[in-house]
Every structure is written in structure tokens, then in C-alpha cells.
Structure 1
């Protein structure tokens, strides 16, 4: 039986290198990349893109759009790890845990767009609760998230690691122009009426994400019952291999969360913390695992099932 040919376009970036590392020893696919002297030549890329079975795009948004435009072979299937096509018509959102039917939608899709690392946590928390009517779609959501500096790709990695002794490494808020590219994605897939206020930051560790969503009970027209929120998330992810909802007795014993807890895995852990006045929803994941390369490989595995 012929092995499916998988081509990574952009295997020199952070996500591309991670995906290549995960796939290079696999015996069920034929993995193709281009050497340095060929990977920037348009004709070479176009040839590889049209001769593979599945193309994985690990490129900046504009380059990803260009790559898609170069594909004329209707048999080629695409996984785009950029944010270029997450809201585009004809693309399937590559978050298998979104709904019960999402794995099948991904497995049969021709074009799949990986979720963003932050939206994986935000949508993972909010979508089930909004759909169940336990929290309103029109609440003024504030999402705060801190990521390891590898979330900024090569430039951020070089800046942080060159300044390893500088106070600048400790914590840097960014996206303060309030136009972060993940906001429309979170709004759309979480089912919110408006874009949330999103406050991202990089910290002085290489990888890992801690994302929080606070809910102030007096500002929500529906009654917030922590037990119902927890039960909803637990039921939604009951069959998931990669998403765990922290048991209530475990979360109630904690007063801190480590954003690096799941580094090196493709897992995500959701938890709920509350008192009579407020509730905080939290997600921890590896931005290079569940938030990037792990998501792409999971989507590849689903697509190979067909």
C-alpha cells in the first residue's frame, strides 16, 4: 500500500520544526521537506505542494495564503497552522474537541485550519458553557493569558534568550492596540456576541500557557452555579484523550497554577475556581503542543483515517 506523502511547507520555523521532529520517524507516511537551497524557490514549492497528499503549512499568514493559491491539484489536502484561514469559508476548524461531530468533519475535510494557541484554551472553556446557556454570549468577557516566549516565534525567542539576564524577560504584556488577531477567532468559535477584551503576555519561560476568564456573578443575569459549570465541562470532554477537567476537590485545594505543567504534552487541563462572588475559568496547555504542533499532528492523524 502506498504511503501518503506529507509535505511540510515552512519547516524551519518553531512550529514547523516541532512537526517535523514528530513526523520524521513515522513509518505510515512519506515525509517531504525542501532543503535550504530549494525551499524559497516558488517553482520548487509549487511542485511539492501539488505532488503531495497532505500539505502542512507552517508559514506566516500571507505566505500561507500564497501557498494555498499555488495548489491546483484538487486531491491535495491542507492543514494550515497559521491564522490565515481560521474564519475562511470552506475551511474546517481543527479543534477536534469542539463538538461531537468535529473529528469526523476534520477527517473528511480537504482544508483544515489549526486553532490558535490562545483560542484553544478560550474556546475550550467558553464554547460548551455558552452553548449550554450557563453563561451568556453577551457578557463582557475579559481573557487574560500568559505564554512562554516561544509563542512569539523566532524573533521573540531570540530576543528573550539574548536578554536572559535582563529584567525585560520577566513579563511583557503585548497586543495593547486591542486588535489581536485571535479575538475574532475566539468570538466566532466560542459563540460570543462581541469580541472579548483579550490581554496576552509573554513571560520568561520558553513554553506553556495559562489562560484565565473571570466571571463576576453580580454582572451576569443568569445564576452562576459552579457545580453546573463543572458538570458541563466534564460531560463535554468525557471522551477526550487530550482535554482533562480538573476535579473540584483537586482545584479547591490549589491556590496557584503552573503554566508549564503540561509542557511536552498535547494535553489541556481546564479548571474552575470560585467563591460566592466570582468564578475564574482556567486553561493550561503547551503552546507548542496542544497549541500548535500537537494540534497539527492530531489533525493529520484524523485526516489519514479516510
Structure 2
């Protein structure tokens, strides 16, 4: 799933992307720059983003590409390959040679939730991609209408238990992170909520204000500005830690439900068979891109947390995530749309 930035955040992201993106189109490394880790690509590195420009996945891809060129001396370009919920770009990355010159930006919304929800998903994630590094993540935020009577998660849960099935939540579609977070919330709190699928962030917010839905677990970048402006009321964040962007908002664990720990993470992948030494070189370069300025500033400004995880540790994390969400899907009885 690609999360689209709301208009204000999209304009901000566009401004942050414009100059660095132009630099990333340069195909020759700066004279005198060392080829990091002994890796010397003979062609520009293709950083495939399997969604259109303008979303959070695209932003991470551009930070990585800029880091390859500006810090490592490797020519690099971003290639947006949207379509089929990310599967067109994923398929192209899967077919590429494992030489480090084709990389893929993916994560929770492409490499965990779709295979957990969709029978006969066309990719075997552990087999078809080499996990390189988790780079950044953003949390979902439980938001309600500021005119609602609920000022805490406990108050919302009490209302949901008093009115089983009557509280509606919106999502961008069946199996999306905001849908699955709500399903996990219902399981952990012992409540029954009604899913209203197929709404993007802006549509969900309009429905929330109109009273057609009562709550949303929305991605941080999509709602951060409106929370700060008072247009939405945030009850909790879904991560195990408080968000740097909303430090005053408690976690769900702090609110009494420690079993709810969800973050939408974005990561770098290679084709299958990428050699471990090359994987580690690419991971180190990608982590440098997001940990140092201007990468960190560009990502944190729209609500990202920089939380890198490399190589074997990232592989183990991804596989644990696959197992966890397959279990949630089974327990909640989630079925793919259509």
C-alpha cells in the first residue's frame, strides 16, 4: 500500500524533493569520490519505487538515491513503477540481476500485509527478494472527531463495548495497514467494530467529520498537520514508543493495551540471490542516507522515525512480521476484497 500525503504534506514533500531529485538524475559520480565498500556500479543504480511519485515510499526512495550519489559516489536514479498495488515494480525488481544495480523500496504495506491477507499472492517474499535494510517507519494514529465525547482510549473502548458493531472505522482498503491495525485493536480490546473499506485518508477524514465513521487508525504523515491544527483528536499512537512528532500523545501500551504495537516501516530490498557482502555494503549506504542530513530532516519533517535494521537482523524481523500478521488475519477472519 502506498500512503498518499495530504495536500499540505505533499506540497512540503515536493519542496523537499525538488532540488535533491534533480541532483539524483546526474549519472556520473563526482570526480574523486571513492566507490564505497569496493562496489563500483557500471550503470546507474535503479531505485524502483512501485508506486507513483508523491507518497511516503517515493520520498524514502529519493533519499536513498540521493545518498547513493552524493555520499557514496554511485550514479543512481529513482524509477516509479506503479500498478497492481505495487506488484508491477516488485516483479521487475524480482527479475533483475543480483548485482546491486537494481534495488526496490518496499516494506510493511508490500512485503507483509498483502501476502498475509491474499491467498495465492504472486510472490514468495522470503524467496523472491533479498532484505537489505529497514530504514524508517511511521506509526498509525488513532484519531476521532474532535467533537466526539471520547478523550481517551479507555472511553472509546467502553463505548464500543456498550454498542457492539455500531462504531465504524474507515480504511484505504481491505488488508491495508489502517484496516489491519483496527482489526488487531478489536481483537486485543475485545470489541466489535464495523469496517468501512475503500476510503483514502482524505475521504476517511471527511466521513469522520460527518459522523459516518467514528474512528480511524491513520498513517502519521496523512494526519499530522490536522492533529496539530486541532481538526482531529489523537487518542493514541500504535507504536511501542511515543512519536517524536506527537510526544504528548500516549501509546496504546501506555493506555492499557500492550499487545498493540504496529508501525508501518519502509525498507530497501534487492533481487533474490544478492550476495551477503554486497547486501551489507548497500545496507550501510542506505542507512547513512537516512541517518545524516539532509535525509534525516526530509524524513522527520513529514512524520518518519529513523529506525534502521540491517541484513540478517532485518530478515529475521520481516519473517516474524509475516508470521504475526498471518495469525492476526486468521484470528480476525479477514478475507480479501472481491
Report the TM-score when normalising by structure 1: 0.34
Whose relative contact order is higher, 1 or 2, with alpha carbons under 8 Å and at least 6 apart? 2
